Amino acid sequence: MSEFKLNFRDTATAFADKTDTELREKYRLFKMLNSPFLSAIGTRVTKFALSLGLPVEGLIKDTIFEQFCGGETIGECEPVIRKLGSAHIGTILDYSVEGKATEADFDNTRDEIIRTIERAKDDPDIPFAVFKVTGIAPLGTLEKLSNKKKLDAKGQAKCERIHTRVNEICEFAHSLGQPVFIDAEESWIQDAIDRLATQMMEKYNRRSPIVFNTLQMYRIDRLPFLRAASKEAKSGGYILGAKLVRGAYMEKERARAEEMGYESPIQPDKKATDRDYNAALEYCIDHLEDIAFVAGTHNERSTQLLAQMMHQRGLPHDHPHIFYSQLYGMSDNLSYVLAKNGYSVSKYVPYGPVADTVPYLIRRAQENTAVTGQMSRELELISKELDRRRLA
200 pLDDT higher than 70: yes
Summarised one tens digit per residue, pLDDT across range 246-263 is 998 888 899 999 999 999
**Is the residue at 213 inside a domain?**
yes
Residue 229 covered by a domain: yes
DSSP for 236-291, written as a single string: HTSPEEEEEE--S-HHHHHHHHHHHTS---B-SSHHHHHHHHHHHHHHHHHTTTTE
Q: Is 19 contained in some domain? A: no
Question: Is residue 160 included in any domain, yes or no?
Answer: yes
Query: pLDDT tens digits for 352-378?
Result: 998 888 777 776 666 655 555 667 888
pLDDT, residue 55, reads 67
pLDDT class for 1, splitting at 50, 70, 90? very low
Which CA distances in Å does 273 have to 215, 217, 322, 337, 374?
A: 12, 6, 21, 25, 16
Query: Does residue 144 fall inside a structural domain?
Result: yes
The amino acid sitting at 118 is: E
The average confidence (pLDDT) of the chain is: 92
Q: Which domain holds residue 348?
A: 69-361
Longest Cα separation, the chain: 67
More confident residue, 310 or 55: 310
pLDDT at 3: 74
Percent of the chain at pLDDT exceeding 70: 91
Alpha carbon distance, N-terminus to C-terminus of the chain: 41
Q: How high is the pLDDT of residue 60?
A: 81
8 falls within a domain: no
pLDDT higher than threshold 90 for residue 194: yes
- pLDDT value, residue 376: 81
Tell me the CATH number at 97: 3.20.20.220
For residue 39, the model assigns a pLDDT of 55
Determine, yes or no, domain membership for 287. yes
Per-residue pLDDT of 102-133, as tens digits, reads: 999 999 999 999 999 999 999 999 999 999 99
CA dihedral 322, 328, 333, 335 (to 10 degrees): 20
Residue 373 lies in a domain: no
3-class DSSP state for residue 48? helix
Residue 234 pLDDT exceeds 50:
yes
Per-residue pLDDT averaged across 148-165, rounded?
Answer: 96
pLDDT at 52: 64
**Number of domain units in the chain:** 1
Per-residue pLDDT, 365 = 63
Which pLDDT tens digit goes with each residue over 169-183?
999 999 999 999 999
Compare 296 and 67 and report the one with higher pLDDT. Answer: 296
Mean pLDDT value across residues 286-302 = 97
